[in-house]
A = this chain, B = another copy of it.
């Protein structure tokens, strides 16, 4: 037996840039980024894809984008700005993916041109996927417009669409070339979407960063009252922790390292059981509450620590219980655990808490105790 060994590293670099009103003419952050990117000899185009939730609430946007790119020699703006409905539905609709691919083809977007997407986490997942598979990857720019996409999903390296009724069945690991977090977009979020992404900050704080958890406690009321400065600080710190987790671990999840998914096994199941009527962030809040109660019953965190977690979630306005948890004598939830194990490749790995700011991985769940946790949550 002879063999040839192949071995290489692929470097990925991108910045998450915090800005405001990125398409106002005096804000040159975005245009300067584009001008300085890549080989100056290539003629570059830029195609915009916009979440309808953004388009409807920021009606000036198409005009602003056109003005922003007027008189730019180095870059050609594709005049057609595509708008698609946002939210989980967009990930279920094969026609949206097809239409984006058609636009990439029709407007001659090549591997050196840009596809910029403005929208929530769901919208960025499908546009990121289209950008990753067209021509084996065009240059993709993410402009997240929700709290969750600015503090978690939009700053990461994954994309995906739902297929065969399975969440993210199709997708790739494909880092964007840049992320622009524009705080102005967040102002038009419903209270629900303003809130829901905060659960991802609580998640990462609980398993990694006590100081940040305490900061969240101290600023929960202000966030609930839509204090912008406080919210933006939360987003920055959460994004930073998510970004660090990716680079310090196994970014493309090639081995068996776990992503940051405290509270997520139950959250995924809840999203399904409610037919995606609850948001990912809302489901994560409930999942965090559930696994925190379980961690306490396992005597890994104290009653006082548990109370602090529940209080934080409630202060922010999160529901911490959903009837679907108990549905079918809790057998549906039990199936969720099995599916999670299946998804991981046979070995169950669940993150629990051993302290505020400190997670631990376990490979077994005592489901009787988990059922008790559901009952406790119901009356909490």
Residues of A within 8 A of B (CB): 1-19, 29, 38-39, 41-44, 101-102, 105, 108, 110-113, 132-137, 155, 158, 160, 163-164, 166, 168-173, 175, 236, 239-240, 243, 246-247, 251-256, 342-347
Contacts and interface: CB of A to CB of B under 8 A. Distances in A.
A-B residue pairs, 7 tightest by C-beta: A112-B345, A43-B346, A8-B247, A42-B345, A9-B9, A4-B16, A41-B347
Contact of A345 (B44, B132, B155, B345): B44
B29 A1 contact: yes
Contacts of A344: 42, 110, 112
A345 to B, nearest CB: 3
B251 A39 contact: no
Contact of A42 (B18, B38, B256): B256
Contacts of A254: 10
A55 B29 CA distance: 57
Chain A contact residues, majority secondary structure: mixed
Contact of A17 (B3, B135, B136, B163): B3
A29 B1 CA distance: 8
A199 B4 CA distance: 21
Given A101-B163, A137-B173, A344-B110, A19 B1 contact: yes
